[in-house]
Amino acid sequence: MSYPDTSHLDYITGEPIADTKAPAGPVAERWDTRRFEAKLVNPANRRKHRIIVVGTGLAGGSAGATLAEQGYQVVQFCFQDSPRRAHSIAAQGGINAAKNYRNDGDSVHRLFYDTVKGGDFRARESNVHRLAQISVEIIDQCVAQGVPFAREYGGLLDTRSFGGVQVSRTFYARGQTGQQLLLGAYQALSRQIAAGNVEMHARTEMLDLVVVDGRARGIVARDLITGRISTHYADAVVLATGGYGNVFYLSTNAMNSNATAVWRAHRRGAYFANPCFTQIHPTCIPRTGDHQSKLTLMSESLRNDGRIWVPKAKGDTRPAADIPEDERDYYLERIYPSFGNLVPRDIASRAAKNVCDEGRGVGPGGQGVYLDFADAIRRMGRTAVEEKYGNLFEMYERITAENPYEVPMRIYPAVHYTMGGLWVDYDLQTTIPGLFAIGEANFSDHGANRLGASALMQGLADGYFVLPATINDYLARHPHGEPVTDDHPAVRDVLAETEDRLNLLLSVDGDRTPDSFHRELGELMWEYCGMARTEEGLTEALRRIPEIREEFWRRVKVPGTGEEFNQSLEKANRIVDYLELAELMCLDALHRAESCGGHFREESQTPDGEAARRDEEFAYVAAWEFQGPGGRPPGERGTGRDRPPVLHKEDLVFEYVHPTQRSYA
């Protein structure tokens, strides 16, 4: 395989990387083979092992509960006041599983195929097939926990369709699926907390990773109420801290969701894979002004019955009800007749951007398209629509003061999810032995575009089924080493770096708030590394990000002290990491001179304006290695660039789903 010349970019190409844990043989047998080949830890010995789990969302909550149920000592952390407040609670639409209850042609292989194709052929086949296999077990697990999935009249679990597929495989609980799944995981976790098997630390944020003799052995954390910094040690560390979409400032993520845990792990030696693969969700409530600090998602499930359209004429500002049917453009149904409004998210988002760029957008500033339920209400009746989507309609009306039963919703794409994350092997282990990343914190399953309703599937697959099987192998092969204490030189070093960083933020005493820098960075990223990217724009972003970082260290104002509840300090510390991560995201997007999934380079598109991959050059995972500060002590104020990162390429091999130009027409 040939690779393009990238000598003009500020990075180094290193040795290739490979996933050595996935077994050979038929893809349908690899997970069973790996589980059998993995070494086990007998129940009596599990009680001697301590595992740190950071995060309590669907991935972290299910992992903590399952590991504790197996007998391990689990120490778990979340920055919320309760594990059940994790951002997974915000997921609305559903969870995929290849149960084929509808007898509509679904199967494990079809879910596998749809996911590889939906990810635009930038995901590993082994990982994706395992996810499809486990999907059927997840539903059984959740039903046994009492998750109240919707049911049809005959009593079977009901399903609906999501984007990028032609079957109904998405199980749901009205528009509250994430909440109900999280409560299921939370009750399992609570049982283990009550039994003394999980030591829970709420309102505590991980600030750095402790690596001793090349292995992950603990974390540095800060109590967000008292400001106390503490160290915690274990035989393995699991990061379940979600994605990094908040680097864009405005996203559908909870405002406190952040990238500090994964970025600090990256700086300690964990490779970061495909950071430019970010997902723009097509059905979000449009931005209304500079006062906003986050955006609100409207579930993709609404695209089952809602029809998306804009006026055919540019600049048509008439109310929707005044625009006749023959003057409306149902553009997704027109361009993609086979899938219609249920095309994948990246395609729906770009199509919305295109019609708005043509001057046919609706609402303030023309930054919106209509999602119209008039046909569904006529066909099904208002009562049936209310039963399926009532809470979503109520949320929309509360935010916009518009009744979606009477007027179409207005939607526009927004940052929602990140397919990139820490590089992991088939066992979900990073390049730091003993450090595992699960859920959205890793890169493993979705390629360049995640299909709707697959995030919940991956989080629970990793937490309930994959990690508990693979972490045994690591612990069995690496029995207890020397106990780690606060006196260890590696611990003293990382603790000093953490304290120095926080003290430095407090000492700048400038004249700008952390939020002002975050907003400036986010607007830059949305402009140059958002839905459409160009070489010129990404180069400009890479020029400006260091300037913003330099100004941040000169002018940021963090009032108060570090020995108290201090949200300004929390934000500023997270923005330090965003300012570094953003640079790697833009570099990754610049080096990948192709379009694939959510990564759309305007220089690489088909005559019809679709993403044009360059498989001969870019059919690989880009795994970036941090090389260390560029001659700048960790605590020194300033912005000298870090040493150029090293790019390691993991070739993607497709034996079962052969890459083709994606077509949803």
> How many Cα atoms within 13 Å fall on the side-chain side of residue 597?
34
Contact between 467 and 74 under an 8 Å Cβ cutoff? The reply is: no
Per the residue annotation, which of 30, 130, 264, 345 is the catalytic one?
Answer: 345
Rounded to the nearest 5°, which phi and psi values hold at 597? 55, -130
d(C-alpha 215, C-alpha 192), whole Å? 27
Residue with tokens 């609305």: 92
3-state secondary structure of 659: coil
Contact between 135 and 111 under an 8 Å Cβ cutoff? The reply is: yes
DSSP secondary structure, 325-382, as one string? GGGEE-HHHHH-TTTGGGS-HHHHHHHHHHHHHTT---SGGG--EEEE-HHHHHHH-H
d(C-alpha 69, C-alpha 67), whole Å? 5
Q: Is 345 a catalytic residue?
A: yes
Contact between 62 and 464 under an 8 Å Cβ cutoff? The reply is: yes
DSSP secondary structure, 427-460, as one string? TSB-SSTTEEE-GGGB-SS-TTSPPTT-HHHHHH
Burial 214-232 (b: 16+ CB within 10 A, else e): ebbbbbbbbebeebebebb
d(C-alpha 605, C-alpha 351), whole Å? 13
3-state secondary structure of 398: helix
How many residues are recorded in the chain?
Answer: 665
- Name the helix (H) or strand (E) containing 220: strand 215-223
Torsion on CA atoms 24, 421, 445, 88, rounded to nearest 10: 140
Burial of 90 (0-12, 13-18, 19+ CB in 10 A): middle
Rounded to the nearest 5°, which phi and psi values hold at 83? -55, -30
d(C-alpha 646, C-alpha 624), whole Å? 6
List, by residue number, the catalytic residues.
345
